[in-house]
Structures are given as structure tokens and as C-alpha cells.
Amino acid sequence: MSGSVPTWSIAIQCTVAGAVVGLVALQAVWLSASRALRPGAPGRLTAGWTLAWSSALAAATLVTALTGLVGDAAVVDSVVGDGLAAARMVALGASVTLALPVVRTLTAGPGVRTGMLALSTWYVVAAALWFTTDLPVRSVDTVHLVPLVVVAGYVGLATRQLRMSARGVALALAGSSSALLLAASCLPAAPPAGDLLAGLWAVPLVAGLHGVAARRVTDLRASDTRREVLRSTLATVAERAWESRTTADLLGLACDAAQEALDVEVTAALRLVGPERFEAELACDRTLDDDARAFLADLARVVQAAAERLVLSDRLRRYAYVDALTGLPTRTALDEHLAATMSAGRRPALMLVDVEGLKRVNERHGHAGGDRVLQHVAQHLRAVLGAGAFVARTGGDEFAAVPAGEPTADDLRSLGSHLRSSLSVPPGITVRPRLTVGLAPASGGGPAELQRHADLAMTEARSTHAGVVYFDARLQEREASRAALVEDLERAIAGGRILAHFQPVADATTLQVLGVEALARWQDGDTLRAPAGWLPLAEETGLIVEIGRQMFAAARAGMERFGLPVAVNVSPRQLDEPDVLRTIEAGWGPDAWDMLTIEVTESALVHDEQHARDTLTQLAARGARIALDDFGTGYNSLARLGTLPLHVLKIDKSLVDEVATPEGVAVLRAIVALAEAHGLEVVAEGVERRSQLTALLGIGIGVVQGNLVGRPRADGPDRTSAAPSQRVRLPARSVAPA
């Protein structure tokens, strides 16, 4: 290389330029890390201004190095040399000007907007003079002297009241040294002094800034690590808060976690600010940074939410274990008490108590009167059974009690009788309540078996009106027989031994068969079990649903075999199922609905009348006929006739048996008139004698069913001379439900 600038000076300038570029990279890392701070935060502003300042310094040192590489005066006077000189002036001007906001963000000094505007104006004027006059290249460096004085004055003003750290003092000395060297390099000097100053003026400042930048990156990494620790601590406290059982445990957990994470003494307080609403506060006696303050605020919110959850959980637990009306334990508490007592090796007895007459009390005195009766019974049970007994309310009008100790059978009977006989009438109640008591002695089974025994005794006491019943060997044998019957019935259903027998429905005048009714029969070996012995149990256990599905399938097969319409009984339990329509269609099939009659009793409409009405309406819309079975033995048939999609009334056998008496005839004539008024066909069930048939014809009943016409048989009716087209049938009507 040729020229007036020594090689060593160029090497120094290139080295400084490389160091400043590295400094810019470090500042970029700092700025990227500071983006996690909120916009306008001091750390974020400092990082931004410092990166801009470092970039200007890098540009200045690079241009200075390039200027040295240009070399001799001839090239310096060239266009390239002029451009590099101008670029050096601009880069140095930007470095000096940007020093003001950097110093301000580091020291929180006075505003620098006016100073930056003045320095910018100064350099704009200098640039204009550069391009419009013939000033020498070196003389332009003198334009930096006044700005350097301004920056030096601002630094003195901003730092005069600061207590600077050792690092701050070192950086100030480095900056002052570079400023003095830069000022000296701007003055005319003979080589090699001028070249040395031009190459070395930025060295002290770059070295100081490198140290600061490296320290800042280290601090940022430490800050990130600390934030991660705080986040992890917060998550751990939030998770462990679920294990806390009291608010004191919550506060202790939060304080310990905060003190370990922040290494400061932390105090916590929890104030009730409303019903089941809390306000938590965590504080310390030292000044904290933004991260620590945010951590304590988040931790306080976790404590607040956990405390409110504790209160809510306690309230829900009280609702689950304590009856709100009587203050007694609930069924859940009874189950746990029995389980705990048996686990401890004790053999408790159990008493179930039902309050008779509560419905009449509600009707006469309203539900407030009924509540007073329940509270009175609760007090009565606690008073009679004593403090050692466990008394619970298990249902609307049902109570349970576990007497103290292990009473004998005679003790239990005496205690139950005394509970029943000593109950007084609550003040203001005119209806006398009575108690029905079921007693179960200690058993070798678990709580479920004990409660089942007491419930069986309660059911027996209620059905026999005995008042007090003890679960003895007789009831135990009945329960065992019932369990065995259920198992046999389940096996019979699974084995296809519940068969359909078909009983004919005939014209009363010609005895021609108009249709058949499919009746379920249990084939047990070579004998048939009477339906009365197992159908109620099937209804109670829900097995009737599967039996019903099988009956619909058998009815469809019978319809196709005999060519006759088929009637199928649907029990209350079946009709109450939400998918009853799907079950019926699965058994019967998707078509031939006009050959199907659905028979329901009035009891099937009691539980959920709206669901039953909707189901029957949909079946009628498909073409099925709806028959009201056992008419005359139910609840309020007359009120329902106008609201259900009925086609047939089937008069119960008990009314047919009275056809020989004037009263019975009068009742049957009224039913026939009622059916005619509603456009319904009438079928008389249970016809067994010719005299009954004659009397029914005289009343106007033209369709009959019973043993006189034909008994139920697996192979169908024996009178099939009437073809389906010859059947006498009233037109079906569509009745919109009320």
C-alpha cells in the first residue's frame, strides 16, 4: 500500500472498526432480549438508543479505516476521497449527537430534544458548507469540537447528582478519554501524531462499551433465569394450593415460596371483602424491581382464588354432608359413617324411618307446614335416640338412624315402637304425622347390604301397615328368593325362554277372530310360570325393557304367520324409557304399523305424562292403534280421554264380572256412551261365560277377549275363519295432545 498514512495506523483503525462491529452485535442481542419489556420501559429505551449509537460509532470507525486505505493525497482529492471524508463527518456527527439520548437513558438526566435539534442543525449546516465551499478535508473535523463541548457539558449536568458505581465511573472515564482523543484528532497535527489520534480515539470508548455490553448480556441472561424461577414458583404454588385445607396454610405456602424465590422477608394478609370474596396482599420492607412486584401481585391473585375456592368447597361439602332444612347429615354422610364404623370392626344396626301423612300436611298447610313437620321429626329422633346415635335425613320424607352400640333385636323393636308411639303433633299442624320404621340388625355384609335389609323392612312395614318391622329370617328368605328369581329371569331372557302366547280378540256376535294379543310367558322346563309371579319383578328391575323388545319381535312374527293384527302391552317402565320408540321399531320393524296395537295402562301415564303422550302420538302418526288397557281401574281416565291419541278402550275384567248386576250394567253402559262420544272402539276383557257374552252384546259391546273366545296359545288362535278384510273396525281418529 502507498500513501501518507502509515500501515500501523490503518491496522489500528481496522481493528477498532471490527471491535465496534462486534459491539453492535452485542447491543443487538441486548435489544432483542429487552423486547420482553413493555414499550417505553427504561431498559428497552436504553437498549434501542445504545444500539443506534454503537451503529454510528461502527460507521465512523469503518469510514476512518477506509479513508486510511485510500492512501495518498491524489486519491484524497478524488471523488471517492471527498465522499469518504463527507461520510466520516456524518458518521462522527451521528455518534456525537446520539451520545445525548444514551446518556439520558442511563442517568435519567434532563431532556435532550433541544440539544439533539441544535446538534443536528449544526451538522446540517456543516454538510451544506462542505458541499458548497472549497474547505480543506482536514478542516472539516473541527466542526466536532463544539458538539463535543455540548455533550461534555450535558454529561456533567446529568451525572452531578448521581452516585455512580465503579462500572459507571470506568465507563465515564473511557468516554471522556475517547472524547479528548477525538477532539485532539480534530485539531491540525503533523503525522504521525495526527494518524495516531485518528486511529486510537475510539479505543477507550469501545473497550468500555464492550465491557458494559457484555455485562448487560450477562444481566439479561440472569434476569431471564430469574423470571423462569419466578414463573416456576408461581406454577408450583398454584398446584400446591389445591392441597391446602385452610387459608392459613395458603398464606404460609405463599410466604415461604416468595421468600425462597426473592430472598427477602415477605408478609401476607388475606381480607374478606364480600360474601365468599377475598383480597390478598403480599409485601416486603425492601424496594423491589418490576419483576419481583409483578410476581408478588400474581402470587396474591393465586392465594385469593385458592381462598375463594376453599370457601366454595366448604359450602359444597356442607351441602353434600349436611341437610339444609334439618341440620342432619345426608345420605352421603350416612354411607361414610357406616363404612367407617364397619371398617373399625363394629357391627352397627340401622333404622329407616318414613314420615306418613306428609303429603296431606303439604296439601293443608303448604310446604312450609311440611318443612315444620320434618324439622319436628328430626328433633324427635335426636331426642329419643340420644347423643350417641347417628341420625341422618336420606330423602324427602325419609330418615335413617344408627343407634349407639350394638343393640339386640328386642332393643331395636322396642326403640322403633317408642319412636312411632311418642311422636307428637307439631304446633300449628292439624294433620297428625305417623312414622313407619324398618329395622335391620348388624349383618356380615357391607353398608349396602345393611341398607337394603332396612329398606326391605321399611317396605314391608309400609305395605302391611304394621308400623314397625324387623328384618328377620322370613324377610331374609324372601330377599334370597327374590335374588334367585332375578337370576333365573335374567338367564331365561338371555336364553330366549320368554315366549309369546297369542290370545284371540273376536267379534262378539260371530266369534270370528279379529286379531290377537301377544302375552309374555316364561317357559321353565315343561311348565309355564304364571306372569303374576315374575312380571312385577321384571318391571321393578328394568328387565321388562328387554322382554318388551323380544315381545315386539315375536308379535311381528305372529302377525306374518297368522295374517292378523297383533296387540302388544307396553309397561310403564318401557314407556318411561327415553329411547322407547327405537326399541319398539327394533323389535317390530319399520313397516306394517297398521297391523300393530299398542296397549298401555293408566299407571303408565302417571310418572311422565308428557313423554308418554308424545311417544303415543308418534306411534299413532305411523299408523299404530293405541288402546287404553284395564280401563276403569286407574286414576282419572275421563280427563285423559280427550288428550291422548286413543283408538280403543279395553274394559277391565273386574267390570265385566259385574255385568250380571244392575250396577255393573249401568257402569258398562256409561263406558260405552263415553267411548262413542270420543269415537273409540270398546273391547271387553276377561269374558269367560256365555251369559257375560250375551249381556255385553245387549249393552252394545261388539268385540270381546277372554277364555270363552280362546286361551293364550303359542301356536295362535284356533278360530281364523274371518279374513282380515272382513274385520269390523271403527275409523281411526287423530287426537292432538292437550
Residue written as cell 421468600? 259
Q: How far apart are CA 62 and CA 199, in angstroms?
A: 11
By CB atoms closer than 10 A (0-12, 13-18, 19+), residue 388 is exposed
Beta bridge partners of 283: 267
Instruction: Using alpha carbons, list the distances in angstroms from residue 456 to 385, 474, 583, 686.
Output: 22, 11, 32, 34
To which residue does cell 452516585 refer?
A: 163
Class in CATH terms, 490-726: alpha beta
CA separation for the pair 407, 419 (Å, rounded): 15
Give per-10-residue mean pLDDT for the chain (738 aa). 50 62 58 52 59 72 67 50 72 77 70 84 80 57 71 69 56 65 60 51 57 63 80 84 79 83 82 77 80 85 84 75 87 89 88 90 88 92 90 90 89 92 88 90 84 90 88 84 87 89 90 91 85 85 87 91 91 84 88 90 70 86 88 60 81 86 87 85 90 88 89 76 39 34
Peptide bond into 192 cis (omega under 30): yes
Q: Write out the three cell numbers for 601.
A: 295402562
Collapsing DSSP to helix, strand or coil, 133 comes out as: coil
* 402 burial via Cβ count (<10 Å: 0-12, 13-18, 19+): buried
The whole-angstrom separation of Cα 272 and Cα 247 is 11
What is residue 315's predicted lDDT score, i.e. its pLDDT?
75
Residue bearing cell 360474601? 275
DSSP state of 500: E
Return the C-alpha cell found at 667. Answer: 257402569
Q: Is 156 exposed, middle or buried (0-12, 13-18, 19+ CB in 10 A)?
A: exposed
Which pLDDT score, from 0 to 100, does residue 597 have?
92
What residues are paired with 435 via a beta bridge? 355
H or E segment to which residue 115 belongs: helix 113-132
Q: How is residue 20 written as a grid cell?
A: 465496534
Contact 628, 602 (CB under 8 A): yes
Give the other-Cβ count within 10 Å of 352's Cβ.
25
Residue 113 vs residues 118, 120, 175: alpha-carbon distances, Å: 9, 11, 21
Cross-strand pairs, 596: 566
At what angle are helices 166-186 and 203-240 packed, to 10 degrees? 150
**C-alpha distance across the termini of the chain, in Å:** 111
User: In the sheet that 434-440 helps form, which strands lie side by side, from edge to edge?
Assistant: 390-393, 398-402, 350-356, 434-440, 468-470
What was the pLDDT predicted at 213?
55
Q: Does domain 331-471 sit in CATH 1.20.1250.10?
A: no
Q: What residues are paired with 524 via a beta bridge?
A: 527
- The residues, ordered by sequence, that sit 6+ positions from 589 with a Cβ below 8 Å of its Cβ are 556
Beta bridge partners of 681: 648
- Of the candidates 415, 435, 413, the one whose C-alpha atom is nearest the C-alpha of residue 424 is 435
The single residue listed with the C-alpha cell 255393573 is 664
Question: Maximum CA pair distance of the chain?
Answer: 151
How many CA atoms lie within 13 Å of 655's alpha carbon, on the beta-carbon side? 23
CB 351 within 8 A of CB 468: no
13 φ, ψ (degrees, to nearest 5): -65, -40
Dihedral angle sign, alpha carbons of residues 363, 369, 371, 375: negative
565 phi/psi in degrees, rounded to 5: -60, 150
How much is the pLDDT for 74?
A: 40
SS3 717: coil
Q: Please, are residues 701 and 509 in contact by the beta-carbon 8 Å criterion?
A: no
Model pLDDT, residue 278: 80
- The CA distance from 608 to 605, in Å, is 6
Q: State how far the Cα of 328 lies from the Cα of 390, in Å rounded to an integer.
A: 9
Residue corresponding to grid cell 322370613: 474
User: Which ranges constitute the DSSP H helices of 563-597?
Assistant: 572-575, 580-588
Q: Are 335 and 452 in contact (CB under 8 A)?
A: no
Per-residue H/E/C for 619-672: HHHHCCEEEEEEECCCCCHHHHHCCCCCCEEEECHHHHCCCCCHHHHHHHHHHH
Work out the number of other CB atoms within 10 angstroms of the CB of residue 568.
25
Per-residue DSSP letters for 141-181? GGGGHHHHHHHHHHHHHHHTT----HHHHHHHHHHHHHHHH
* φ, ψ of residue 577 in degrees (nearest 5): -70, 140
Residue 722: closest CA among 552, 510, 568? 510
As a whole number of angstroms, the distance between CA 399 and CA 633 comes to 33
CB atoms within 10 A of CB 362: 17
What's the half-sphere exposure (Cβ side, CA atoms, 13 Å) at 395? Answer: 9
pLDDT at 95: 75
Q: CA Rg, the chain, in Å? A: 50
* Amino acid 353: pLDDT: 94
